[in-house]
Amino acid sequence: MRNKLKPLIQHSPQQRMLLNQHIIVCIMVIMALTISACGNKVARVPIPIKVQSEIDIGTYSNFAVLPFVIEKSSTKLDEIPVEIGPEIAQILRSNLARQKHFKIVNKQETERLMTGEQVEEKLLEDTKRLSELGRYFEVKGIIFGSYRFYTDTRPRRYYGERYSHNQQRYVMDYQDYMQKTYLLSLRVMIIDVDTGNIIWDEDYIQQTAEAHSLGSFVFAQIAPKETTLRELSRRAVSDFTREISPHYEEEDRFLMR
């Protein structure tokens, strides 16, 4: 005769009955919780979550910000004001100065120490020179970068409905227009003054679009672009500042009432 396998744990009839009772009680509790949950309302509650800086703010807490330079690959460079590079740097100084974790060299001191220094695109690759400039400022990090401002114009078609008096009903209709998109690509770098290493190198893209008829499109071609460029610069700088600064973000949590 074959030997039957014996169970590892042998239960008496009383133990098996007690175990079955526990299982039944657990099932009933789960069912009761499920039924009660279905009758409750679920509320979405925003919870503030602290997000840490993406750099070591214990080491990199004081910076000098140099004027940004125009990339040579930009289209229609003559339409971009030359002074927007220093203006981008000043926007960045103001944003960082509002953060309690950072100490920023002000505009006047920066201009004084940079007297006679040529700030050109080739300086982006000369980390040794940037490190030397950082020692003049007596800071841990140099923030520098470049920007490219360009436009993209394409014909678009908008579909909608209009009421037809002849057919006495709404009919599908469309309207052609020109969409002009302004784009800014802002490159921001942070150079470690002590080592000359690049510890941050990111591009920030911002854009805005305008819809034009033929007449307004002709006017848009000759209209000043400075206001649009400044607004896109503020958005891009805000994205950078948020990434390197400790801040709070809201996350949704779902609570049952």
CATH of domain 46-253: 3.30.160.150
Distance of CA 84 to the CA centre of its chain: 22
* CA pair distance 150, 181, nearest whole angstrom: 8
Report the predicted TM-score, pTM, of the whole model to 2 decimal places: 0.71
Q: What is the pLDDT of residues 83-106, one digit of tens each?
A: 688 999 999 999 999 998 899 999
Range with the poorest average pLDDT among 71-80, 211-220, 235-244? 71-80
User: What amino acid is encoded at 58 in this protein?
Assistant: G
For the chain, give every domain's residue range. Answer: 46-253
Single-letter code of the amino acid located at 149: F
pLDDT tens digits along 106-127: 999 999 999 888 888 888 999 9
The predicted-structure confidence for 127-159, as pLDDT tens digits, reads as follows 999 999 999 999 999 999 999 888 887 887 777
